[in-house]
Structure 1
Amino acid sequence: MVDRSTPPNRPPLSSASLIARLAGIGVIVAAVAGAFAYVNGTFDPQRLTPKKLINVLETNNGVHPGFRRNHSKGVCVIGHFESSGEARSYSSAQVFNDPQTPVVGRFALPAGSPYAPDSSVPIRSLALRFTQANGQQWRTGMNSMPVFPVGTPEAFYQLQQAQSPDPATGKPNPAAVPAFFGSHPEAGPFLAWIKTAKPSASYVTETYNSVNAFYLVNAAGQKQAVRWSMVPLAQDAAGATAPEGADFLEKDLVQRIGAGPLRFQLNLTLANADDPVNDASKSWPAGRKVINAGTLVLNATQPQLDGECRDINYDPLVLPAGIEGSADPLLAARSAGYASSYLRRTSEVSQLPAVKQEAKQ
């Protein structure tokens, strides 16, 4: 896992600057992992449902017909995965055993508006669908942050409420998000990272993390808890900054992929027996064994409004035999929330011609 702690020569944020930054974190967090919903029915009497979660996201972000309710701005990518063979002893999944597996992916800006400036949030996301020869699929949604800010769907929903507009003013209460984090100490690792996180100049120079944990299962039924990361095999020069303009990420991606395939290494980090598997807000200690499972090769882009990724629901619990979800409650919540968002946006497909025209203006 990349160490994103504050460099020793960087002066600490002033109290006023930190409070101002915390007040804006709600917008960032609303985008980091998509729509969540608590599905176990224990949040009574006001049970949190997919509908309620998507509704609060629409309240905070607005409604943009035909687009995802979060991670709305993105671009499709096409490629394949080349297995290294190093994960074969841990998982029976074909993706780790066959030489190549086709992939349809999507880079995205974690924001609720498809028209958000690329520099508006410091987090990037990458979603992938691997389609195995036996027809089974592995879908994964990853983010450039190392941990999630909270560990439960209820807390995530409360954070969305904290950034909702006050009916009396039409604007969020600037004290609500800092107050939320003040009562959620588990957010400490995320806040430590976000203090120094900067918008990257390119989608292809980021490391993307699963954040949630999963299990690899081998042919003998043995299980190994893992988190995974897609690590770029090429990096920009140190000190590279994001260019000016609202839409530089897609332009940069198209230019880079036009010059040749882009490659990422899939690293699987193996948990020790006492590592927290069911809480995405907790990191694992450094020094854990890391396996190079293979290389993601991307060789084409497509517009998201009519590309292959448009109608894919990147549900993180769509898994092939040989990979299983953990008991992390955020995984079930993501699955339910993604489905609700998918149904809403696909019912709006008839409005996409008008959306395309609007985007050109």
Structure 2
Amino acid sequence: MHDPSATDTPPKRHLGSWALIAAVVAVTVGTFGYVGGWLAPHRLTPKRIVDQLQDNAGTFAGYRRNHAKGVCVTGYFDSNGHAQAYSSAEVFAAGRTPLVGRFAIPGSNPYAPDSSVPIRSMALRLAQANGQQWRTGMNSMPVFPVSTPQAFYDQLKAQQPDPATGKPDPAKVAAFFAAHPETAAFRAWAKTAKPSASFATENYWSLDAFVFVDSAGKRQAVRWRMVPEATDAGSDVDNSGNPDYLASDLAQRLSQGPLRWHLLVTLAQAGDPTNDATREWPADRPTIDAGTLVLEHTEPQESGPCRDINYDPLVLPDGIEASDDPLLPARSAAYADSYLRRTSEEAHLPGTAVAQPKPEAK
């Protein structure tokens, strides 16, 4: 059935609502980047996608090209052993695995007010005793707007600010949405999403599917999310007039003790899509509580341990593999491009004596 609101040239009365959704999506789509160099030069590349991010939002030397504003956290994952039946990864053996993480908000402006967007992100690097690592980036939304790198790029182009107004053209954004009905679930979420008062009270979803592999080689498609123990109660930080209230709230909460999330792993069943981050799996799918994420300390990202970490989602230990989701290699390639740009810039910032970090090995 034709949706009268999904037209190439929307009526003027709809432009305001399109602009509101576009504002949320604009800072969200930057969560992912695009693909590797095996494609022909005229196709999308990491450079083109990161260049487009810069065209849309500007360049801040030495900072990530997206999720630029954030804070470092440290702690550990306390596994209860329940996921060992599905994955041979050492991180799921009963016991603790140390981690360095990062909370952030989307966007390339490291000075943006925390209230500018309703989305928060959590990234983790878990270091196993055998030397392997698990890196994961999650977001406080249950679905991603688009399912392919090409759609991601087209969305960025549609949202590029008009030089005359400094804002995206609502008609172009509406035309993009009309051509991409798969964005409906995200748009519905974005209409009601509001900026939260704390990183500590958010759920964080993997969005992409992955594959757990057990010791016998059996494969199981999964998604995961972090579910907090904290509620909106527990922080007395005054957010009024404070553009950096998320960092203040986090420090205040951690001064009273560790913060905890439960790692819930959802098991896919036959027919559940593993290559489409715009679609949720049915709510009745089996879920495993794999253990508890415990965060103990926070530090500013400028000097903290998360600063030079590339949270590449394809850095995976034995027992966890990528699915067929095309956004995963896209994210990996763009993260690498962004990492090389910002660390090179940081090494040459006037008045600094920071050595250029060496690219990390997988």
Kindly state the Cα deviation for residue 39 of structure 1 after the two structures are TM-superposed.
3.1
Name the aligned partner's letter for residue 273 of structure 2: P
**Structure 1 segments of 4+ aligned residues over 4 angstroms from their partners:** 14-17, 167-171, 351-356
Aligned to 1:50: 46
Q: Contact between 2:237 and 2:249, CA under 8 Å: does it hold in 1?
A: no
Aligned with 1:106: secondary structure?
strand
Aligned to 1:6: none
Kindly state the Cα deviation for residue 271 of structure 1 after the two structures are TM-superposed.
0.6
Aligned with 1:175: secondary structure?
helix
Aligned with 2:294: secondary structure?
strand
Kindly state the Cα deviation for residue 165 of structure 1 after the two structures are TM-superposed.
2.7
Aligned to 1:28: 27
Kindly state the Cα deviation for residue 354 of structure 1 after the two structures are TM-superposed.
5.7
Q: Are the structure 2 counterparts of residues 112 and 317 from structure 1 closer, same or farther at C-alpha, using a change threshold of 3 Å?
A: same
Name the aligned partner's letter for residue 179 of structure 1: A
Kindly state the Cα deviation for residue 29 of structure 1 after the two structures are TM-superposed.
2.5
Are positions 1:154 and 2:150 aligned together? yes
Kindly state the Cα deviation for residue 27 of structure 1 after the two structures are TM-superposed.
2.1
Q: Contact between 1:23 and 1:175, CA under 8 Å: does it hold in 2?
A: no
Q: Contact between 2:80 and 2:94, CA under 8 Å: does it hold in 1?
A: no
Aligned with 1:203: secondary structure?
coil
Aligned to 1:18: 17
Are positions 1:288 and 2:285 aligned together? yes
Larger mean CA deviation between 18-27 and 178-187 belongs to 18-27
Are positions 1:265 and 2:286 aligned together? no
**RMSD between aligned residues:** 2.2
After superposition, residues 301-316 of structure 1 pair within 5 angstroms as 301-316=298-313
Provide Cα deviations, 1:223-261, integer angstroms capped at 9, x if missing partner. 1100000110111159x9993221100000011011100
Aligned to 1:177: 173
Provide Cα deviations, 1:91-131, integer angstroms capped at 9, x if missing partner. 10000004000000000011110001100001000000000
Q: Contact between 1:25 and 1:177, CA under 8 Å: does it hold in 2?
A: no
Q: Are the structure 2 counterparts of residues 45 and 350 from structure 1 closer, same or farther at C-alpha, using a change threshold of 3 Å?
A: closer
Equivalent residue in structure 1 for 2:109, among 110, 113, 120: 113
Name the aligned partner's letter for residue 316 of structure 1: P
After superposition, residues 129-140 of structure 1 pair within 5 angstroms as 129-140=125-136
* Alignment partners' CA distance in 1, 2:93 and 2:195: 36
Are positions 1:344 and 2:313 aligned together? no
Name the aligned partner's letter for residue 346 of structure 2: V
Aligned with 2:192: secondary structure?
coil
Name the aligned partner's letter for residue 28 of structure 1: V
Larger mean CA deviation between 17-26 and 125-134 belongs to 17-26
Aligned to 1:321: 318
Equivalent residue in structure 2 for 1:226, among 210, 222, 225: 222
Equivalent residue pairs, number: 339
Are positions 1:335 and 2:337 aligned together? no
Name the aligned partner's letter for residue 269 of structure 2: N
Q: Contact between 2:18 and 2:170, CA under 8 Å: does it hold in 1?
A: no
Question: Normalising by structure 2, what TM-score?
Answer: 0.89
* Alignment partners' CA distance in 1, 2:21 and 2:226: 28
Name the aligned partner's letter for residue 69 of structure 2: K
Kindly state the Cα deviation for residue 170 of structure 1 after the two structures are TM-superposed.
5.1
Q: Contact between 2:15 and 2:171, CA under 8 Å: does it hold in 1?
A: no
Question: Normalising by structure 1, what TM-score?
Answer: 0.89
Identity %: 59
Are positions 1:214 and 2:210 aligned together? yes
Aligned to 2:141: 145
Q: Are the structure 2 counterparts of residues 48 and 98 from structure 1 closer, same or farther at C-alpha, using a change threshold of 3 Å?
A: same
Are positions 1:193 and 2:189 aligned together? yes
* Alignment partners' CA distance in 1, 2:348 and 2:214: 46
Unaligned 5+ runs, structure 2: 1-12, 354-362
Aligned to 2:36: 39
Name the aligned partner's letter for residue 222 of structure 1: K
Name the aligned partner's letter for residue 24 of structure 2: I
Q: Contact between 1:81 and 1:294, CA under 8 Å: does it hold in 2?
A: yes
Provide Cα deviations, 1:250-286, integer angstroms capped at 9, x if missing partner. 0000110111000010000111111001111111011
Are positions 1:202 and 2:198 aligned together? yes
Q: Contact between 1:267 and 1:293, CA under 8 Å: does it hold in 2?
A: yes
Aligned with 1:336: secondary structure?
helix
Unaligned 5+ runs, structure 1: 1-13, 357-361
Q: Are the structure 2 counterparts of residues 353 and 268 from structure 1 closer, same or farther at C-alpha, using a change threshold of 3 Å?
A: farther
